[in-house]
Each structure stands twice: as structure tokens, then as C-alpha cells.
């Protein structure tokens, strides 16, 4: 059935993408990191890969963009591989927040003052501090190598302009980080942790890279192209669960109902999504809706999910 779907997708995806592209006018490109504001608002691209090495692409699938929050999924996995579940979840919770991804309210109000989950900023900053390594540079290097392996792309690298733009304008993340430091959640110096965090957010990819990383999750941690076991199954399970409950900011509940597949978005307009046992998907569409998700990207994924009954539920 998957092959049949691939054929149908190949034929119809370009048309569906153009329909979804009309939605780009309803959102706005993120402006809070100056470098991100340079993206073209009407961009939309998608790339789908299956386990047989078959791929389908449409629209602006080749343009580069930074991973931003999408990277949080994989730093979580790396932290789990470095320290195990117990250590990671001593410092970060497992619950959706219902608040904005950069909110400080629950850190102040809800004991014990740890981030509610690893996909909000406070949680992802905490996870960054848990990556093994002797120095921030070492941690960043380990992250990059891990991401390169998952994407099957040794050329993956930082966009240093975006990194510096984030460093310079990231005062809200700094505020979050010092709050976490005060609460005893962060052990390392704040600027060290933030350099790791901002760097992995600045890793530049295209839709093909995302689809390949997603494919590894879709096949429980094994790269289906070469059979290499890259991630323990349990950590993939944890990651996929968080993608469903918290992956699309505070529109995650709606996305679960309307699309129903594990996905993670970033403010660059990227979305990594997957159909377990079938596909890895990369989407880019920098025009964001009010919740911070690619407005056209979500529209396209909903169409795909409904046409091919992808929902897990």
C-alpha cells in the first residue's frame, strides 16, 4: 500500500503544495531573530523519503534553513543516550504546558521549578546543558556529528550568521537560563549552555536532511537505508511521544487531532514529521501562524494525513 501511496503522492504533491502555498499569505515570517526575517514569505517546500530509498519532493525543497526548535528533538535523544532517562527527567518534566514556548510563569509558580518538558525553550536549554562533553565546543561538536549521521550528510553545518544573530538578541533565552540557574537546574555557566543551545538551533538543513532524520525515527532508530542502529528504540519512543504531545508549540493538541503524526516545528518555518514504519518528511514554509508553526506547512501535512489516513489515532 505504501508504494501505491508513493505513486499517488508523486503525482499529486506538486498540486497540493501549490494549494497550501496560498496559505502563506495568512502568516508572517519570524522577525525576532533578525537573520530569520530575511526568509521569503511565500516559500513552501516538502520532501518525503521512504525506507526503500524512494523520495518525492515538491516546491522549494532545496532551500536551506536553520533547524531552530526542530533540533530540540535530537538533543533530547542525545542527552538520553548520554545519561539515561532518570537523569534527564530529574531536570526536565514530561508535560505539555499550554503556555508560550518561552514563558517563565510555570517555572516561577509550579514546584519544583524545572521546565515542564524538553521541547519548550527552558527545557531545551536544560537539555543542552546535559549533553556530554568537556567544553561547550566539545558538546557542540558531538551534537553536530550526531545530526550529520542522522541526516546522512557530512556537510551539515552551522549557519554562523544565524548563530550570532541569536546570541545577540537572545535575551529572553538568557533570562530563562538565569532563572534555571537560580533554581539549580543548570550547573554550567549560563553563557556556555546558551552557546551550545544557540548553536544547535543554527544548524542549517534542507527538507531532504529533515526527511532523512525523520526516517530514522520512523524506523525506531535504525537508518533503513543502511540498517545502522543509530538510536535505542526506547529513546525514539520518548521523542515521538513528545512530538505528539508538545511538538507543535501550544498548537500541539490541535495538530494531534487534525494531523495525528509525530512532528516538530521551528520558527524558521521548518517541520520535521514522520509516519511510523513508513515515511520521513521535511517541510519548510517560513510564514508562521500565531502559534509559531508554518501556516502552509501545517496545511499541507493535514492534507497528506487525511488523504492517506496517517493519524496514529
Rounded Cα distance, 253 and 170, in Å: 28
Question: x/- string (CB under 8 A) for a copy of itself, residues 255-274?
Answer: -xx--x-x------------
My answer on whether omega of the bond before 134 falls inside 30° of 0, hence cis, is no
Whose cell is 493535514? That residue is 302
Q: How many CA atoms lie within 13 A of 269 on its CB side?
A: 36
296: contact with a copy of itself by CB under 8 A = no
Task: Please indicate whether residue 72 is annotated as part of the active site.
Answer: yes
179: contact with a copy of itself by CB under 8 A = yes
Residue 17 CB, shortest distance to a copy of itself, in Å, is 25
19: contact with a copy of itself by CB under 8 A = no
Residue 56 CB, shortest distance to a copy of itself, in Å, is 25
171: contact with a copy of itself by CB under 8 A = yes
Task: Please indicate whether residue 249 is annotated as part of the active site.
Answer: yes
83: contact with a copy of itself by CB under 8 A = no
Between 108 and 307, whose beta carbon lies closer to a copy of itself? 108
Which of 33, 56, 308, 313 lies closest to 159 in space, CA to CA? 33
First to last CA, the chain: 19
Q: How many residues does the chain have?
A: 313
User: What is the DSSP pairing of strand 279-284 with strand 45-50?
Assistant: antiparallel
Rounded Cα distance, 241 and 238, in Å: 5
Distances (CA, A) of 253 to 244, 282, 291: 8, 21, 12
Between 55 and 195, whose beta carbon lies closer to a copy of itself? 195
Between 246 and 296, whose beta carbon lies closer to a copy of itself? 246
β partners of residue 66: 204
Whose cell is 520512523? That residue is 218
Identified binder of a copy of itself from the candidate list 38, 98, 135, 168, rule CB under 8 A: 98
Between 135 and 175, whose beta carbon lies closer to a copy of itself? 175
Task: Please indicate whether residue 279 is annotated as part of the active site.
Answer: no
Which of the residues 216, 267, 284, 298 is marked catalytic?
267
For residue 239, give the C-alpha cell: 521523542
Q: Find out whether 235 and 36 touch, Cβ atoms under 8 Å.
A: no
238: contact with a copy of itself by CB under 8 A = yes
**Binding-site residue positions for substrate:** 69, 121, 166, 173, 197, 249, 267
Q: Site residues (CB under 8 A) for a copy of itself?
A: 93-99, 103-106, 108-109, 116-117, 171-172, 174-179, 181-182, 190, 237-238, 240-242, 244-246, 250-254, 256-257, 260, 262, 276, 311-313
Active-site amino acid positions: 69, 72, 197, 249, 267
Amino acid at each position: 500500500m505504501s508504494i501505491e501511496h508513493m505513486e499517488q503522492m508523486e503525482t499529486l504533491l506538486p498540486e497540493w503544495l501549490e494549494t497550501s502555498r496560498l496559505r502563506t499569505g495568512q502568516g508572517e515570517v519570524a522577525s525576532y531573530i533578525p537573520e530569520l526575517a530575511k526568509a521569503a514569505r511565500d516559500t513552501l517546500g516538502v520532501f518525503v523519503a521512504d525506507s526503500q530509498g524512494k523520495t518525492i519532493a515538491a516546491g522549494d525543497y532545496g532551500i536551506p534553513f536553520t533547524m531552530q526548535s526542530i533540533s530540540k528533538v535530537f538533543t533530547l535523544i542525545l542527552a538520553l543516550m548520554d545519561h539515561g532517562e532518570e537523569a534527564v527527567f530529574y531536570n526536565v518534566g514530561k508535560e505539555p504546558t499550554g503556555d508560550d514556548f518561552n514563558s517563565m510563569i510555570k517555572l516561577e509558580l509550579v514546584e519544583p521549578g524545572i521546565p515542564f518538558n524538553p521541547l519548550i525553550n527552558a527545557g531545551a536549554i536544560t537539555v543542552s546543558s546535559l549533553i556530554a562533553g568537556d567544553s561547550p565546543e566539545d558538546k557542540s561538536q558531538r551534537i553536530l556529528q550526531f545530526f550529520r549521521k542522522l541526516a546522512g550528510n557530512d556537510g551539515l553545518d552551522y549557519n554562523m550568521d544565524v548563530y550570532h544573530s541569536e546570541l545577540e538578541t537572545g535575551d529572553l533565552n538568557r533570562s530563562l537560563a538565569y532563572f534555571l540557574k537560580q533554581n539549580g537546574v543548570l550547573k554550567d555557566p549560563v553563557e556556555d549552555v546558551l552557546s551550545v543551545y544557540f548553536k544547535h538551533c543554527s544548524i542549517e538543513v534542507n527538507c531532504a536532511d529533515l526527511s532523512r532524520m525523520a526516517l530514522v525515527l520512523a524506523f525506531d532508530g535504525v537508518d533503513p537505508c543502511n540498517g545502522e542502529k543509530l538510536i535505542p528504540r526506547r529513546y525514539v519512543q520518548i521523542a515521538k511521544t513528545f512530538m505528539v504531545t508538545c511538538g507543535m508549540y501550544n498548537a500541539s493538541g490541535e495538530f494531534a487531532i487534525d494531523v495525528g503524526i509525530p512532528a516538530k516545528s521551528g520558527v524558521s518555518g521548518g517541520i520535521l514529521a514522520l509516519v511510523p514504519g513508513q515515511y520521513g518528511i521535511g517541510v519548510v514554509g517560513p510564514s508562521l501562524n500565531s502559534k509559531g508553526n508554518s501556516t502552509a506547512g501545517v496545511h499541507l501535512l493535514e492534507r497528506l494525513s487525511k488523504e492517506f489516513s496517517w493519524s496514529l489515532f
